[in-house]
Each structure stands twice: as C-alpha cells, then as structure tokens.
C-alpha cells in the first residue's frame, strides 16, 4: 500500500522557520520525482516545489524562491521542505505528492502550517 | 506563468445528469513534438486529499469510473461526468504541466441539485 505521511506542521510566527517531513512507503521512492503542493484554507491548490530522483534538479514557485528548500534522503525514503522567513500567506495545508509525469498520482494527507503572531 | 481558468466556479446537477467543467489555459499546453496536451484533472472530495483522475487531457487513471472523461486540445479543455453520482460531489481542478511553475485552475465545486 502506498503511503505518504507528512509531519512537522504547526503554528509559527511571521519570520519564523519550520521543517516539514514526508515519509514514503509502498513504492519506489528513489526513482520518483517528488513535490510539495499547498492549499490555503478554503482555497485552491498551488504547486510549491519539485525535486528529481537524485536531488540534482529542483524548482520552486516564485513566491517561495530563496525562502524554501526542498530536499530528500533516498536512504530514508523521506522528503523534506525547509521553510524560512515564513509569511502570513504561507498558511496552508502542505501536501507531499509524487510527480509521475503526467500527474501527481500519490498524495499524503497533508500537514497544516499556520503563520500568525 | 500559464494561468488556468475554470468555469463555472460551481454547478449543481441532478443525480444521473451530465456535469461539464471547462478549463482554459492562457497559452497552449500542446507539445507539438509528441502531440500531447500537458493537462491533468483532479478530484478533491470534502476533507480529503486530491486524486488524479485524468492525464494527457483525456487518459483516465486506472480505477477511475468511465463516466469521467476529458477532452480538448491547445488551450480549451473539458471534464465531463456523464451521469453524476452522489459520490462525485467534490471540487475538481485542472492542472497544466507544460511548464513550471505547474499551475492549477481555481477549482469547480460540483454539488447535487
């Protein structure tokens, strides 16, 4: 059974940092592109970042470039998102998802990040 | 960035009737070298994570009921639910993967009339 389990969300003040983790199982993590997608409360979906199999290539939506860093540890079947300089508008549920080209075929249940003073 | 615009924002359809959702991209998502449209559709039921329904604009994912179909090319796409069932109540999103940033439409909420 495929599982993606996110953790690390919570309440953080503006300007603060948070590190999200995603534990993967049930599929070949090391050969998969992985991604983070977020959803602000009551809003639509927004792709945040992707990382290729070895971590050699990454890309981000402009609004998080320079603040967020996506990484992975294939030995631990884990995906990460380091979020710095957090803003109110980063408040969202963050989903870990596998990019299967041509679509996000596996999704986690999401972890809520709330940026508020 | 490619902007994806869905219409309508919401629709209410009677059980067994057809539901049609439109998605328009601000530029073509048809890749000429392979003649494929880089467009996917997702379903998000209340309180759940999104689920991939269709990729390459018209190819259903394994296990997706055949009442769901996708069509269109270039900049204009349609998701059709041929006979709405109660379990189809959800928000539906289109997404382009022609170029990054990969972008989604704003979503269309489908309800039972």
| Average pLDDT for B67-93 | 98
For residue range A52-66, list pLDDT tens digits in order.
999 999 999 999 999
DSSP-based three-state secondary structure for B7: strand
What tokens does A86 get? Answer: 């957090």
Give the C-alpha separation, A47 to B82, whole Å: 29
pLDDT at position B97: 97
Enumerate the β-bridge partners of residue A87.
none
Closest in B44, B52, B105 to A103, CB measured = B52
Nearest Cα neighbor of A67 from A101, A93, A109, A36 is: A36
Query: B-chain residues within 8 Å CB-CB of A100?
Result: 52
Residue B24's nearest CA partner among B11, B43, B7, B36 is B7
* Minimal CA separation from B85 to chain A, in Å: 23
Residues of A in contact with B101 (CB under 8 A): 47, 59-62
What's the gap between Cα A9 and its chain centre? 11
Confidence of residue A76 (pLDDT cuts 50, 70, 90): very high
Mean pLDDT score, B17-32: 97
* Model pLDDT for residues A6-22, shown as the tens digit of each residue: 999 999 999 999 999 99
Using 50, 70 and 90 to split pLDDT, how confident is the model at A101? Answer: confident
Q: Name A4's Cβ contacts closer than 8 Å, sequence gap at least 6.
A: A22, A23, A24, A96, A97, A98, A106, A107, A108, A109
Burial class of residue B21, CB neighbours in 10 A (0-12, 13-18, 19+): buried
Please tell me whether residue A93 adopts helix, strand or coil conformation: strand
pLDDT of residue A36: 98
For B27-64, what is each residue's pLDDT tens digit? 999 999 999 999 999 999 999 999 999 999 999 999 99
Question: B72 has which bridge partners?
Answer: B77
Rounded CA separation A72/A79 (Å)? 4
Nearest of B3, B2, B21 to residue B12 by alpha carbon: B21
């Amino acid at each position: 059974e495929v599982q993606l389990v996110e953790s690390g969300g919570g309440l953080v003040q503006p300007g603060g940092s948070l590190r999200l983790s995603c534990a993967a199982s049930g599929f070949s993590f090391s050969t998969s592109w992985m991604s983070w997608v977020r959803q602000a409360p009551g809003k639509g979906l927004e792709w945040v970042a992707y990382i290729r199999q070895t971590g050699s290539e990454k890309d981000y939506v402009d609004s998080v470039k320079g603040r967020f860093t996506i990484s992975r540890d294939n030995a631990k079947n884990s995906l990460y998102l380091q979020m710095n300089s957090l803003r109110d508008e980063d408040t969202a549920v963050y989903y870990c998802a596998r990019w299967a080209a041509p679509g996000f075929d596996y999704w986690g249940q999401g972890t809520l990040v709330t940026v508020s003073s | 960035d490619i902007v994806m615009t869905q219409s309508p924002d919401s629709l209410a359809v009677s059980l067994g009737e057809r539901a049609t959702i439109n998605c328009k991209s601000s530029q073509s998502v048809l890749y000429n070298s392979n003649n494929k449209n880089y467009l996917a559709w997702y379903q998000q039921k209340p309180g759940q994570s999104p689920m991939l329904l269709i990729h390459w604009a018209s190819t259903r994912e394994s296990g997706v009921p055949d009442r769901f179909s996708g069509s269109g090319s270039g900049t204009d796409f349609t998701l059709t639910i041929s006979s709405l069932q109660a379990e189809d109540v959800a928000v539906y999103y289109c997404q382009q993967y022609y170029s990054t940033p990969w972008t989604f439409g704003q979503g269309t909420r489908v309800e039972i009339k």
